[in-house]
Amino acid sequence: MAKSRRNHAWVIWLTFAIGLLLSVSPMPQFLEVFRPMWLAMLVSFWTLNVPNRVGMTTAFVLGLAEDVLYGTLLGQNALILTLITFLVLSLQQRLRMFPLWQQSLVVLVIFGIAQLVQLWLSALTGNRLPTLALVWSAVISALLWPWISFALRDLRRRLHIH
């Protein structure tokens, strides 16, 4: 009984650390546009399933960490992750009822909007030439969503994370 009452919040932060590592892991340059939005997927999953633990503040802090790791303009990824979290929180009740394939479509739209904002911010700061190839990472992330969601849901149930 005491084991079921344990607080396993460290598991959530461990998944975020793994997501940050996957976000900066080396890839060939031509595959870089296909890199999944690991941290966005993890923040979306935990926001969707345990909104009392993961929310806008967590997304903002993780976005700042991502800005530091990427060396981008401070606050750029924080804004993107906060936008994603806001959209997931506003659609939370509906998303939880959807099957995984429909959740993937909604995730595609949310991540696509976030990538378009990222593209706009990159064009404003002059860091990158504007190209819609950036949207490929949203497509890859939406395709990975059922697998990530299934694995994390199983982990959440086994460890009784509420």
Could you report the per-residue pLDDT of 91-149, keeping only the tens digit for each? Answer: 999 999 999 999 999 999 999 999 999 888 888 887 766 677 878 999 999 999 999 99
pLDDT at 124: 85
pLDDT at 57: 96
Q: Which residue pairs, CB below 8 angstroms and at least 24 apart, start in 66-73?
A: 66/20, 66/23, 66/39, 69/20, 69/23, 69/24, 70/23, 70/24, 72/127, 73/121, 73/125, 73/127
Interacting residues of 62 by C-beta distance below 8 A, sequence separation 6+: 16, 20, 39, 43, 78, 81
| Residue 4 scores a pLDDT above 90 | no
Residues 81 and 59: beta-carbon distance below 8 Å: yes
Could you report the per-residue pLDDT of 32-59, keeping only the tens digit for each? Answer: 889 999 999 999 999 999 999 999 999 9
Mean pLDDT of 17-22: 96
pLDDT at 58: 96
